[in-house]
Structures are given as C-alpha cells and as structure tokens.
A and B are shown apart, each in its own frame.
Chain A
Amino acid sequence: MKLTVNGIGHEVESHGLQSLLYVLREELGITSPKAGCVQGGCGACTVLVDGEPRRSCLTPLAALNGAAITTLEGLGTPESLSVVQAAFHEQYGSQCGFCTPGMIVATTALLERTKKPTRHDIEQALAGHYCRCTGYVKIVASVEAAAGGAKK
C-alpha cells in the first residue's frame, strides 16, 4: 500500500497488521520513532498521523488508509530547527535523547491546537510520554519556551 511519510510517497510491503512503528523503522529506515516499549506505554514512538499524535507501535498499517505521516525527521533539520526543536535544544529538554522524538512530536501537535498552553495543557499533552532522565522540569520549560517565543 501507499504511505506518505514526511511528504514523500512510499510503496510499502509489510503486512497490514504490522505496526506503523515497524514499517517506519524496519522497512523505511526512519529511525527517530523509538521502540521504547512496543506496548503503547512510553510515547517514544509517537508520530503525527494527519497532524494528530499517535502511538506508531499501536497503529496497524492497514488502518492508515492513505494518511500523511510526519516523524521528527519531517519537522526540521540541524540547519533549520523547528521552533519546538530549537526550544528543546536551548532549554536542555533532552538528556539521553531517547524520549525526545516523541516529546517534540507531541509538543508540536499541542502547539498546533493550543497556541498558549497552560501548565495543565502541557501535562495533559505529555502525560503518556515517559522520560527517566530530566524529571520533566526542563521539558516543561522547553514547551513553554516554544509556545512563548519565535524561533531564535
């Protein structure tokens, strides 16, 4: 079936019940979504499906039905970071970096919905995203910085 990832169309061959995470990582070699648990419990595999954050490990390929997928690779590059990427970098919102793809993807979706999120909005948007390193303090700061400022 056809799958559009970061604006590029692919013809994918995996079984329809295969997870989107597997298709991205193993068939297409797009590795920012991480297999942190493959149980839906950590958020590290989160990608945007038609702009909405989804657990790619829980999403069967056949359910996508022509949807457009955006992964962290599609949000910005080292030369041109997105506002959210820049904020996570500047605010040290990333330590080991393994949760970061999911955090940034979910934050990007949050700021699409809510320009000025409250602390409660941020906690709700990232509630399913687990980080063992930061204690979340600098992640909250990163989201607030991304919401508050244009890209530096």
Chain B
Amino acid sequence: MAKHTGRGISAIEYPTGMNQNGDPSQAWIKIKPDGRVDVFSGTSDIGNGSKTIQSQIVAETLGVPYDWITYDNSNTDSSPVCTGTFASRATFVAGKAVEKAALSAKEKLLEIAAKELEIAPEDLEVVDGEVIAKGAPQKKIGVPDVAAAATWVHGELITGTGAHLNPYAAIVDPETGRVDSPPHAAISYAACAAEVEVDDETGEVRVEHMWQCFDVGRAINPTLVEGQIQGGALMGLGLAVLESCYPYYPSVEHRGTEFGSYFVPGIEGLPKIDTIIIENPSALGPYGAKGISEMANNPQPPAIASAVFDAVGVWVTELPITPERVLRALEKKDEGPRRDGKWVIFDEDISVNTVAAEGSRFRFPVGA
C-alpha cells in the first residue's frame, strides 16, 4: 500500500506587541450631539478585523450599542499615532489605546450626566446607552440627552483621548541578552495536532486534519478570532508542505511568478480544521485579550513534519516538505542519525559543518 497516515503535535508560544516594546498607539473619541460615537484610531485593518474589535471595545467601555460607533482609521490628519498592524498588536496595544480613550470620554460623559441628574459621577454607570444611578435605576438619562445637554446647554464637548505604550525594554547585557523589563506586552500559547497522509510512491503529503488550541486571553469577538486561527492554519499548511519563493533554495533559479507556479493553499482538498479557544486573561490586555493572529501559522509546520515521520519514518527538516524531499528522504531512510558517544547527530549533510569552508565564521561543533 502506497499511502500511510500519521499524526504529530506541537506546542508554541508567541509574544504580543513589538519585541522589546516601545510601540505606541493613540486614539481619540468624540460624542456627537445625538450620542453617537466617533472613534479615531490609526490602526490599519488588513483583514484582521481591528475596525470591528476596536469598535466593540469602545461600545463595551462606554456602555453604548455597537451600532452607535463610527470608526475612522482612514487618514493621518484625523487619526493619531498607531505604530501599525503587525507584531500582534492591533487588539492588545491599539485596543488598549481605544479602551483608555473610551474611559476618558466616559468620564466626561458622566460629568455632564451628573449635572443633569444632580447625582455625583461616581454614583453613575452607563448601561445600554443610558446613564443610570447605581442602585436606583429609575433615575436615568439617555446618552443622547447627555450629549445634547453637553452641546446645547453646557457648551462642552464630550471627548476623550487614550494612548498606550509599553516602554522600550533595552538589552542591558549584549553578551547574555538580558533585558531590563519584559520585552513583550503579553505572551500567548497554542498547541496543535496534525494528521497527514503520505504517498510513499509519489512523495505527496496531504494534510487531512488539524486540531488547534489557542489561549487568546479573551475572545473580544469569538468568530473573528476563529477566523484568524483558521486562516493561520492554512498558511501553516502552506509553510509546511507547499510554499517556497526559491524552489531550489539556496539557488535563485526557477522562481514562480504566478499563482500557478507559486503554491498558495487553495480550497480544493481543504483539511478538516478544529479550533479550541481557551481564555486565560492577560492582566494588561484590553478585557484580558492577547494577540494571537500571527502565531496562528506557527504550530502547524512542526506538527505536520512530525506527522510525516509518524507516517513514513523520515524526518524532513527542510521546508517545505515537498514530494521530492520525501522521496529523497525515503531513499536514505535506513541511514539514520550518526551516533557518537552520547551524541545523536541528525542532518549532518545540510549542516554548516559540512557546507562551510575551513575558517568560516559559522560553525556548530557536534559530537563527543
């Protein structure tokens, strides 16, 4: 029988925010005279859903319906600084900035409401678009009425700004890599299992099933975070078995310049993808959220490589695991690692020790 199935697993971690931090985000919010909310943030939505996530954070923090929020990230004249949508920072760092801006606007909102209701601001809360006296819910005023009063009666603008910056964590000792404070906003964690089918005649690896569990801290929008994990899974599949800019790396020959000759995963043969979300809140993230969208493509390649070993007994440690690499590995299957004392030495043929010349800067001593 030419086809063999196998399973492999992996466990990973990944930081939220730029490595070593130092990456600010800012936001500002104003409330229109009818209580509708304008959010200005500089976060690009690259499909990750940050427009939605940040609007949800503002709705929750202010206590108003989601559809009252207008979110504008369209330009740098009206939106303040956001370092950008990368480093898994759009929910955590930029989300924290809009949360702080919303808290600041809420403070102003309650200050005006306090005047209207003649109740101290600290005794008020905002629920579903209404400012309500704590413990006396019959005493209330709608957010639109507060906003109108601010505009037409009190001559005030209900607005708020927020900024979030984890200070730069300098490397204090370049010899050891020691840092002077945590070099990340948070860390998140994931584990994965993959099931593959390997054809030992053609070398083809088909990924049949991927199970993934991610600690997202808090799922601000569970469907969006699922979408990130599912999208990451297929990108991980691409990394594992399909994609390379240089099919004959390190040679630069035969680069693919179209989708027919550069292999991005398609919908045909889509594996089964199971997603498990656990919520272990980050102490500092907005509502406990961590950023997981980047790490979403990290656990599959090693799980798939281990599954290939489980299926046909060869370790392919150069990515992608092409049919050719599988066949070449199968040809040498009986060789195994070199054993030298207590050393078990794999992959010597591709090591710098073999390829680099005498006197190279790059060496990795192995063996007893």
Direct contact between the two chains A and B in their complex (CB within 8 A): yes
Q: Point out the residues of chain A lying under 8 angstroms from B265, CB to CB.
A: 135
Q: Known A37-B258, A39-B258, A42-B259; judge A133-B267 contact (CB<8 A).
A: no
Which of the segments A25-33, A67-75, A89-97, A108-116 contacts the partner chain?
A89-97
Give a binary string over B207-237; 1 marks a CB under 8 Å from any A CB, 0 the rest: 0000000000000000110110011111100
Number of chain A interface residues as a range: 20 to 34
Q: Point out the residues of chain B lying under 8 angstroms from A39, CB to CB.
A: 258-260
The answer, among A97, A123, A130, A138, for a CB contact under 8 Å with B259, is A130
Report A119-152 residues with CB < 8 Å from chain B CB.
Answer: 122-124, 126-140
A76 at the A/B interface (Cβ < 8 Å)? no
Which of the segments B45-53, B134-142, B160-168 contacts the partner chain?
B45-53
- A123 smallest CB distance to B (angstroms): 5
- The CA of A130 and the CA of B48, in the complex, are separated in Å by 17
Residue of A nearest to B273 (CB): A137
A9 at the A/B interface (Cβ < 8 Å)? no
Report B231-270 residues with CB < 8 Å from chain A CB.
Answer: 231-235, 258-260, 264-270
Q: Point out the residues of chain B lying under 8 angstroms from A66, CB to CB.
A: none
Q: Point out the residues of chain B lying under 8 angstroms from A16, CB to CB.
A: none
Q: Known A41-B260, A133-B47; judge A95-B267 contact (CB<8 A).
A: no
Most buried by A among B45, B230, B235, B260: B230
- The CA of A112 and the CA of B47, in the complex, are separated in Å by 29
Residue of B nearest to A98 (CB): B47
- The CA of A39 and the CA of B257, in the complex, are separated in Å by 10
> A135–B273 contact, CB under 8 A?
yes
Most buried by A among B224, B260, B266: B266
Q: Point out the residues of chain B lying under 8 angstroms from A139, CB to CB.
A: 267
- B233 smallest CB distance to A (angstroms): 5
- A30 smallest CB distance to B (angstroms): 22
Q: Point out the residues of chain A lying under 8 angstroms from B45, CB to CB.
A: 96
- The CA of A135 and the CA of B226, in the complex, are separated in Å by 10
> A123–B258 contact, CB under 8 A?
no
Q: Known A39-B259, A41-B259, A135-B233; judge A130-B227 contact (CB<8 A).
A: no
Q: Point out the residues of chain B lying under 8 angstroms from A95, CB to CB.
A: 47-49, 227, 231
Q: Point out the residues of chain A lying under 8 angstroms from B230, CB to CB.
A: 134-135, 137-138
- A89 smallest CB distance to B (angstroms): 12
> A96–B268 contact, CB under 8 A?
no
The answer, among B48, B234, B258, for a CB contact under 8 Å with A136, is B234
> A123–B47 contact, CB under 8 A?
no
> A97–B47 contact, CB under 8 A?
yes
- The CA of A137 and the CA of B269, in the complex, are separated in Å by 12
The answer, among B224, B258, B267, for a CB contact under 8 Å with A92, is B224
> B231–A133 contact, CB under 8 A?
yes
> A134–B259 contact, CB under 8 A?
no
Residue of A nearest to B236 (CB): A135
- The CA of A130 and the CA of B243, in the complex, are separated in Å by 14
- The CA of A138 and the CA of B270, in the complex, are separated in Å by 12
> A37–B259 contact, CB under 8 A?
yes
Report B121-168 residues with CB < 8 Å from chain A CB.
Answer: none
Residue of B nearest to A99 (CB): B47
- The CA of A12 and the CA of B330, in the complex, are separated in Å by 59
Instruction: Please give the residue numbers on chain A whose beta carbons come within 8 Å of chain B beta carbons, in ascending order.
Output: 37, 39, 41-42, 92, 95-97, 122-124, 126-140
Instruction: Please give the residue numbers on chain B whose beta carbons come within 8 Å of chain A beta carbons, in ascending order.
Output: 45-49, 223-224, 226-227, 230-235, 258-260, 264-270, 273
Known: A127-B268, A130-B259; 8 extra A-B contacts, CB below 8 A, are A37-B258, A41-B260, A122-B267, A129-B267, A133-B47, A133-B227, A135-B230, A135-B273
Q: Which 6 pairs between the two chains have the least Cβ-Cβ distance?
A: A96-B47, A41-B259, A95-B47, A135-B234, A135-B230, A137-B230
